[in-house]
Amino acid sequence: MVKKRAFGKLKGREVMVLGIIAAMIILFSFLSPTFRTYPTLVSVLDNSYYITLMALGVTFPLITGGVDLSIGTGLVSYALIGGYLIVHQGVPVGVGILACIGMGVLIGVFNGVLVAVMDLPPFLATLCTCMITRGLGPALCGGFGVSWPSALSESGAFRKIFKFTTANGTVVPIGIIFIVVLVLIMSFVLNHTRVGRYTIAIGSNKEATRLAGVNVKFYHMLAYIISGLFAGLAGVAYAATYATIYPGSGAGFELDAIGGAIVGGVSASGGVGSIIGAFLGVIVICLMKVGLPFIGLQANWQQIFTGLVLIAAVLIDVVKKKK
Amino acid sequence: MKKKMLAILLGAVMVLSLAACGGGGGDAKDDTKKDDTKKEETKKDDEGGSKDGGYHFEVIVKSFQSTYWQAAVIGIDNACEELGVTANANGPANESDIADQIQMIDSAIEKKPDGIGLAACDTNSVMDSLTKAAEAGIPVVCFDTGIDNAPEGSVYATVATDNEAAGACAAENMFPVIEDKIKAATVDAKVRIGEVNQDATGLNIQQRGNGFIVKMIELCNGVDKKVAVVGNEFYVNAAEGTVAESEAEVIIEVGVPAQTTVDLASTEAQKIMAKDDTIAIWGSNQTTAEGVITANGTLNKLSTDPSKGIIGAGFDAGTPQKEAIKNGQFIGSVTQSPLMMGYECIQTLNKIAKGESVSDIPMDGYWYDMENMEDDNIKPNLYD
Amino acid sequence: MEKIKQNALVQKVGFNRIVLIFVLLLMYLMFGLLTGGAFFGFSRIANALNYAYFLGFLSLGVTFVIATGGIDFSIGPVMFCCALVSGYSLTMYGVPMVISLVMSVLIGVLFGTFNGYLVAYWNVPPFIVSMASMNIAKGIAAVFTKTQSVSWPQSSTEDGWYRNFVSVNGFPIGLIVFLLVAVVCAVVLNQTKWGRYILCLGSNEEAVRLSGVNVKRWKMLAYIICGTLVGIASIYFVAAYTTVQPGYGDQYNNEAIAGCVMGGTSMVGGLASISGTVIGVFIISLLQQGILALGFTKEYQYIITGLIVIAAVYADVSARRRKN
Amino acid sequence: MGEVILTMKDIDKSFPGVHALDHVDLEVRKGEVLALMGENGAGKSTLMKVLTGIYKKDSGTITYEGKEVEFKNTREAQDAGIVIVHQELNMLGHLTVAQNLFIGREFKKGIRIDDKKMNEEAKKLFDRLNVNIDPKETMSNLTVGKQQMCEIAKAVSFDAKVIIFDEPSAALTESEIEEMFKIIRDLKKKDIAMVYISHRMDEIKVITDRVTVMRDGTYVGTLITEECTKEDIINMMVGRVIYEDPKTESAVPKDAPVVLKVEHLNAGKMVQDVSFELRKGEILGFSGLMGAGRTETARALFGADPKEGGDIYVNGTKVTINTPQDAVDCGLGYLSEDRKRYGIVVQKTVAQNTSMAFMKNFMKGIFIDKKKEKDVAREYVDALATKTPSVEQLVVNLSGGNQQKVVVAKWLARNSDILIFDEPTRGIDVGAKNEIYKLMNKLVAEGKSIIMISSEMTEILRMSDRIVVMCEGKKTGELDIAEATQESIMNLATREIA
């Protein structure tokens, strides 16, 4: 109880992940002097935006007991289409961004129909969508990479949503504000609105939820639409952070996001999970991505560690349940 | 009942999707034609009867991922237009999809074109396919990437950049800017030169990376400074004439991202740029160069003035790099001539088809910076 | 329709498989006509086959895992890891060819054991284990090879004999090996205790456990079988494509799982058909070849494969719903 | 007697191949509890599903409060005041009690769900029903009985005029059932009409006013509860008298060898220091209330769940049982109460299920001897009189009683001498029940020994030679059948609670 009060509304798992984050930061700072600098912090954040956004969205399907594997290839595909419209068709940047998000929602609806209406296993259905989105972007845009307008150009203002450079050259990662606001909003949605309540209910017992008179199909679908929407937002974030969108990439992004969510305590079998947890979990993954190279490990070690951390995170749950 | 359902559904979907593939695919083909081969079409109408026209070539590029290949395709189109031939370009989704590319080559051989232009993703894995092409009597011209040890009689000519020279070119142009700093370096106050290399996979990529390192070592030794190479083990082992890290005055650090994506490349770049003794950094291809630019978005350390920050340089072109040079983040970059390579590839194929003798065409890597970007011999190669 | 289904022969072969074969032939015919006959040649088939074997082995392997109600989508990267680690040992450390080949398979077995152990003995969800071992496989491969690609010996070299596994002078040895392995898999799945337990525990694990069966062992076995086949797949991959690069391999997961599911193996476990998987794989690779022959880029193949698998799964799901 | 609130007339409903309801009538009055009885498959649940809009009727009329109605889904029925309390608990384990109560009709403040108000309302509701449950507790932390109370409270909270209880007592302890009856009596006073579906004759006599009996999808008749006997009702349900008297003395000789001895078995809170003996040819009844730890004892004994301590002797030799595998090797067999989850593999054939526990015996080299498998399965199908078209039938297509027989066959094929029957007749209709009883008697006559866990007092008294009674994880007594009565068992079963 004392612990509960000390950390306000955070749950045990979230406190634990916070602890891990702190430990990692201390360890990395101790081992690498260059790590404990302001720019590194910014770059961890930079790397985390699109993954966090994906994680916020994919938490909903995960809580319903499903999964959305299409977000990784999806976000690249949406960003490609948005960029294509801006660069090659000359539409205003705002419209391009909307197109990017809109495509995400559209694929979300598609996933939702497959899973909620047609009753396909979510894993397989979204695996198929993953393939489809992988082909879709390049197919629509002629297969070439696209560079969204750069920060310095006139129409590149959208990049400043995430990063603002002051006159004296200091970089302000205002994207984090944007992310925190979204985390709070989605946390509210999950815990205090019908959408969230029914998402948890579906993950807990879909049939019972249906018998309670809830329009299960709609809310089940909505979980995937939310996931798609955030994949679209992640597409914008990715385009804003990195120079060029390359078709054919993106496979594997979803694993960072899903892995982060799971490290943060979202259950792979549904019903359990928090947005804050997912967010913190993603930070762990990103710290590893950015931090491990700093302490002198080759980039590839990061993958091995990510795998091990993921198993460790789940094993904690398994062992706890055994007790 | 169950099975009936299955039968009907599966059958229907197959038919539908194939129809969609036919129809939708048709649209897409139209699109690509509009983009890539429109001129070729009109040209054919005009000079359809010309004697040396009418050949058809298959071209297989590494992928359509980067705009580099877009430029190559333009070059191919230009040549087609001039010669009144047709060419069909295809490539895998990703430069790493070796397997897909081989299937494409075999598929191209099946079509029995008058020649094949090939930019191989991997030089070793295409050997069997090249043998098949030779057996089928289809001439192959390699462009962008040369293939050593190609089977006898398969590759007629190579139109490729000398990657080692191109890498060295970057080192040569970078060195004068940081020369003073290197001269001032001591064992206790080392200076660090970073190189972010695309994965140490393809031979040409290794050559390029090594070309830079070898040249840089040579230049540093020229001013009596000892060099150590650290980072990716492949390059560390490949480097000659180096000393242990503790004895060196100059350190060349090579970072290789786990995959060639911008996000991973930028992490590698950040790692190097965050170090206080880093004086210069080079990205060895379009993706890694963009990784350096992305990293700078956070660190803001790049400058054209060695006293103010880190000297940056890149490779290939693309909008982000061109802008980085224009606004003083990069001192310059090395471009190959994808456009010319594509053009020369078709020219060569055409000559072979006509029975003329051909020879290898080495292409240069050009150093470009703010001054010469608009020059006539440079500008066409600086694709977006 | 009912009459056809009552036919003894049809019942024996299985109606679903007949439908699949029909679909396969239909597609072949269609591609043939669309390409103006260019698709019909023998060399085209031989080509398609050479490139299909590795996918076939992956699919066979993952069939066992899916039969237990699990999933393994680390198979692609693990296959690359096998080929990279053993190939690097071969080219850099001079390990003899035979040992390298054995190593490939062993590494596959090792990953299978690792996955199976975590899934069976620690109850970690298969989905998570796949994600983890996918990362680990990529990481190990890259660390071991120092992020270099590895090219296996050409057929002309002394060590090139391993390519005979695929074909000798155009004679498709690979096909024979693949079908043999498929037959062995089918026998294991349907005629032995292993397969019986794997299928039963996919259907109702707890009931099997309470029958006094060591379910953990059999569950792990399914993953080990999968790992073994992934190891074999890696040999067929390099024999067809020579070079492997670290950091990749994901794309083959989808294709392998697609082939398996299309063949009628149910994602909820307990139902699996090896012959279905074999036909499923042929459909997938025919699609791949056909789309290439029509001159379309890879993207269209992704899209169409995705749609077709959705249709196949929907047929399966709706048929089962009807039954209940 | 109140006025008629709901009339169903001439309700007809067919599924492919089954005429589920054949012109059934039903009449419910305000302020009464109407028992709806019938064997499994008689059409009780189907009728209720037609009423609440889960199924669409083929013909017939439903008149509710004087108007003809047809509900499209449960939601519409709920809104009109007809609510079902389901047999399977429809709880959402991850949500709190209050969130469960108001799922689908949350109180809102703008777009925000007003959890505070929901908790208050839930508290009020529980106070009114006199139950003590914290609305903020997570549902999965409640006992099954408490969860059932929540279901009832939820039904009440709809301002229901008609509440249908579908086997509500199946999972409740005696005291919880008593508590539930109190609520039902309260509701009666408020003029609410209730339909009570149950197999338990005793409850029917206690709580209901009238009994409507169905058989094979048809309406048989309606009786006034007070005026009829159990036998009357059973006769209407099955069309023949099958009620049997309790066993009066043990059939096992006093000197029969002890085949299983369990000493000081411990496994968590539910199994504390349990010791007992089982003799050859004996049926040892395990009685107690729901949650007394009987199933847990059996599972711990069988190695299905980990145990903390205790010695087990089979035929006088001490054995170690850590996994079901060990248990099976010692000759034990376990027939779970939840067949579908723990007993059979429904998607496999009768033959495959029969051979499952003893594959070793069905091998020819490394291959399965499918012929032998089928032959053996056929033997047991005949011996146990399992009704199945063939041994290659998928078990999913068999009825509950026949599925149970397949599980028995599995253990017999394994030569298991000690069989643990956990609630052997749960969910099995009266006719099939008798067959299972006959089978058990036949097995012990052949020298097998049986441990039978049962919550039905009549079953315990009818079948057992000796009775072990448990309460809250402890063995509270052991009775010989000669001295056992309902009262003496109940005394022991509630000993710890007082």
Q: Please, what is the average pLDDT of chain A?
A: 87
Q: What is the C-alpha separation between D461 and D479, in angstroms, rounded? A: 11
Contact criterion met (CB < 8 Å) for B9 and C314: yes
Interface test with C, best of A297, A314, A319, A321 (most C CBs within 10 A): A314
Q: Which of D358, A316, D403 is nearest to C122 (CA)?
A: A316
Instruction: Please check the confidence at residue D171 and state whether its pLDDT lies above 80.
Output: no
Asked whether the beta carbons of D277 and D315 are under 8 A apart, the reply is no
Which CATH number does the domain B52-161+337-364 belong to among 3.40.50.2300, 3.10.20.30, 1.10.10.10, 3.40.50.970? 3.40.50.2300
pLDDT in tens, B153-173: 888 999 888 888 889 999 999
pLDDT band at D87 (very low <50, low <70, confident <90, very high): low
Please tell me the predicted confidence (pLDDT) of residue A283. 92
Residue D72's contacts (CB-CB under 8 Å, 6 or more residues apart) are D53
Give the pLDDT of residue D399: 76
Examine residue C192 and state whether it is found in any structural domain, yes or no: yes
Please check the confidence at residue D240 and state whether its pLDDT lies above 60. no
Residues in C touching D410 (Cβ below 8 Å): 211
A24-63 tens-digit pLDDT: 999 988 888 878 888 888 888 888 899 999 999 999 999 9
* Nearest by CB: C131 against A269, A310, A315: A310
**Using one digit for the tens of pLDDT, what is the confidence trace for B335-363?**
888 888 899 999 999 999 988 888 888 88
Q: Point out the residue among A192, A194, A209 whose CB comes nearest to the CB of D92.
A: A209
pLDDT on residue B19: 42
* Interface check A192 vs D, CB under 8 A: yes
Q: Is C14 contained in some domain?
A: no
* Contact residues of C toward D, CB < 8 A: 187, 191-193, 196-197, 199-200, 203-204, 206-214, 270-271
pLDDT of residue D88: 64
Cα angle value C206/C208/C213 (rounded, 5°): 120
Q: Identify which has the larger pLDDT, A153 or B38.
A: A153
Dist CA B206 CA B284 (whole Å) = 10
Minimal Cβ distance to D94: which of A211, A213, A272: A272
Predicted pLDDT of residue D151: 85
Say if D4-238 and D258-493 have the same CATH topology.
Answer: yes
Q: Which CATH class is domain D4-238?
A: alpha beta
B330-335 vs B361-363, strand pairing mode: unpaired
Could you say which of 3.60.20.10, 1.10.540.10, 3.90.550.10, 3.40.50.300 is the CATH number of the domain covering D258-493? 3.40.50.300
For chain B, the domains span 52-161+337-364, 164-335
Confidence check: pLDDT of D225 > 80: yes
Sorted by where each begins, the domain ranges of chain D are 4-238, 258-493
Residue C3 has pLDDT above 70, yes or no: no
A239 CB neighbours in chain B (<8 A) are none
Q: Is the pLDDT of residue B110 over 70?
A: yes
pLDDT digit string, tens, across residues B40-57: 333 334 433 334 558 999
Cross-chain CB nearest to B290 (options A42, A243, A298) = A243
Distance from C-alpha of C73 to C-alpha of C50, rounded to nearest angstrom: 23
Q: Report the DSSP beta bridge partners of residue D26.
A: D8
pLDDT digits (tens, 9 = 90+) for B273-302: 888 899 999 999 888 999 999 888 878 888
Q: Flag whether C24 is in a domain.
A: no
Among the partner-chain residues B66, B91, B263, the one whose CB lies closest to the CB of A145 is B66
Classify residue C3: in a domain, yes or no. Answer: no
- CATH number for the domain spanning C213: value is 1.10.3470
User: Under a CB-based contact definition with an 8 Å cutoff, are residues B117 and B105 in contact?
Assistant: no
Distance CA A178, CA A161 (A): 8
Shortest distance, CA C285 to any CA of chain D (angstroms): 31
What mean pLDDT comes out for the span B120-128?
Answer: 86
DSSP H helices, chain B, are: 2-32, 38-47, 67-83, 98-110, 127-135, 163-184, 203-222, 233-238, 262-273, 286-299, 319-326, 338-353
Query: Distance between CA A274 and CA A279 in Å, rounded?
Result: 9
CB B60 within 8 Å of CB B108: yes
**How big, in percent rounded to 5, are the helix, strand and coil portions of chain A?**
75, 0, 20
Q: How far is B101 from chain C (nearest CA, A)?
A: 10
* Same fold? B52-161+337-364, B164-335: yes
> Nearest CB to C306: which of A131, A138, A311?
A131
For residue B144, what is the enclosing H or E element?
Answer: strand B140-144
Q: Do C19 and B102 touch (CB under 8 A)?
A: no
Domain count, chain A: 1
Q: Which domain holds residue A231?
A: 10-28+35-315
pTM: 0.85
Residue A148 located in a structural domain: yes
How many inter-chain contacts (A to C, CB under 8 Å) are there? 138
Q: What is the largest CA-CA distance in chain C?
A: 64
CATH of segment(s) B164-335: 3.40.50.2300
Query: Is the residue at C239 inside a domain?
Result: yes
Chain A neighbors of B299, CB-CB under 8 A: 39, 43, 171
Note whether A192 contacts D112, CB cutoff 8 Å: yes
Q: For residue B45, what pLDDT is reported?
A: 40
Residues of A in contact with C71 (CB under 8 A): 123
| Tens digit of each residue's pLDDT (9 = 90 or more) over D368-384 | 999 999 999 999 898 88
Inside any domain, residue A3: no
What is the arithmetic mean of pLDDT over A136-154?
82
Q: To the nearest whole percent, how much of chain D has pLDDT over 90?
A: 29
Query: Is residue C8 predicted with pLDDT exceeding 80?
Result: no
Residue A290: inside a domain: yes
Please give the pLDDT value at position D412. 87
Q: How far apart are CA A52 and CA A54, in angstroms?
A: 5
Over residues D462-498, the pLDDT tens digits come to 899 999 999 888 898 899 988 888 778 877 877 654 4
Host domain of residue C179:
43-292+300-307
The band of B200, judged by pLDDT with boundaries at 50, 70 and 90, is low
Comparing C-alpha atoms, which of B143, B121, B122, B129 is closest to residue B65?
B121
Contacts of C246 in chain A (CB under 8 A): 300
Inform me whether the pLDDT recorded for A2 exceeds 50.
no
Residue A318: its H or E element = helix A299-322
- Give this complex's ipTM: 0.82
Mean pLDDT of B89-116: 86
Show the 3-state SS of chain C: CHHHHHCHHHHHHCHHHHHHHHHHHHHHHHHHHHCCCHHHCHHHHHHHHHHHHHHHHHHHHHHHHHHCCCCCCCHHHHHHHHHHHHHHHHHHCCCCHHHHHHHHHHHHHHHHHHHHHHHHHHCCCHHHHHHHHHHHHHHHHHHHHCCECEECCCCCCHHHHHHHHCCECCECHHHHHHHHHHHHHHHHHHHEHHHHHHHHHHHHHHHHHHCCCCHHHHHHHHHHHHHHHHHHHHHHHHHHHCEECCCCCHHHHHHHHHHHHHCCCCCCCCCCCHHHHHHHHHHHHHHHHHHHHCCCCHHHHHHHHHHHHHHHHHHHHHHHHHHC
Chains with 3+ CB–CB pairs under 8 A to B are A, C
pLDDT for res D190: 86
Return the CATH number at A187. 1.10.3470
Q: Do C296 and B29 touch (CB under 8 A)?
A: yes
Report helix, strand or coil for B103. helix
